[in-house]
Chain A
Amino acid sequence: MAQQPLLKVEDLVVEFDSTSGPVRAVDGVSFEVHEEEVFCIVGESGSGKSVTMLAVMGLLPENARIAGGSITFRGRDMASLTVSELNAIRGRDVAMVFQDPMTSLNPVRRVGWQIDEMLRIHRKDLSRTQRADRVHELLRSVGVADVEEKARAFPHQWSGGMRQRAMIAMAMAHSPALLVADEPTTALDVTVQAEIMKVLAEVRRENRTSMILITHDLGLVAQVADRIVVMYSGRVAEQGDVFDIFDRPSHPYTAGLLASVLGESSKADRAYAIPGNPPSPQNRPPGCAFSARCALAQGRDMCTGSVPVPVQLATGHSAACHFAHEATASNSALLAVSDGSVR
Chain B
Amino acid sequence: MATYLARRIAQAIATVLAVLTISFFLVRLSGSPGALLLGDNATPDDIAELNSVLGFDQPVAVQFATYLREALGGSLGDSYRQARPAFDVVLERLPATLELALFSFVIGIGLAFVAALVIQLSGARWAQAIVVGLGAARQAVPDFLFAVVLVLLFAVTLGMFPSFGRGGPESMVLPIATLATAQFALYFRLFTASFAEQESQDYVRTAVAKGQSRTRIVLDHMLPNAILPTLTVAGLNLASLLGGTVIIEMVFTWPGMGQVLMNAVSTRDFPVIQAGLVVVALIFVTVNLLVDLLYAALDPRVRLA
Q: Is A151 interfacial (CB 8 A cutoff)?
A: no
Known: A98-B202, A105-B203, A108-B225. A156 touches B301 (CB 8 A): yes
Q: Which of A88, A106, A107, A156 contacts B207 (CB 8 A)?
A: A106
Contacts of A61 in B (CB 8 A): 200
- For B, the interface residue count at a CB cutoff of 8 angstroms equals 23
Q: Chain A interface residue count: which class?
A: 20 to 34
Contacts of B296 in A (CB 8 A): none
| Least Cβ–Cβ distance between A188 and chain B, in angstroms | 15
Residues 86-120 of B, flagged 1 when their CB comes within 8 A of A and 0 if not, give 00000000000000000000000000000000000
Contacts of B224 in A (CB 8 A): 108-109
Q: Is A57 interfacial (CB 8 A cutoff)?
A: yes
- Segment among A1-9, A117-125, A212-220, A222-230 that sits at the interface with chain B: A117-125
Contacts of B213 in A (CB 8 A): 84, 87
Chain A CB count within 10 A is highest, among B203, B206, B208, B299, for: B206
Contacts of B228 in A (CB 8 A): 108
Known: A108-B299, A109-B221, A156-B301. A59 touches B202 (CB 8 A): no
Q: Is B169 interfacial (CB 8 A cutoff)?
A: no
Contacts of B298 in A (CB 8 A): 108
Q: Is B201 interfacial (CB 8 A cutoff)?
A: yes
Known: A108-B300, A154-B301. A59 touches B208 (CB 8 A): yes
Determine the distance from Cα of A121 to Cα of B207 in the docked complex, in whole angstroms.
10
Residues 93-119 of A, flagged 1 when their CB comes within 8 A of B and 0 if not, give 001101010011111110000000110
Q: Is A204 interfacial (CB 8 A cutoff)?
A: no
Determine the distance from Cα of A61 to Cα of B202 in the docked complex, in whole angstroms.
11
For B222, give the chain A residue with the smallest CB separation.
Answer: A106
| Least Cβ–Cβ distance between B304 and chain A, in angstroms | 15
Q: Is A89 interfacial (CB 8 A cutoff)?
A: yes
Residues 292-305 of B, flagged 1 when their CB comes within 8 A of A and 0 if not, give 00000011110000
A-B residue pairs in contact (CB < 8 Å), sample of 8: A59-B209, A84-B213, A96-B209, A98-B205, A104-B202, A107-B300, A108-B301, A109-B224
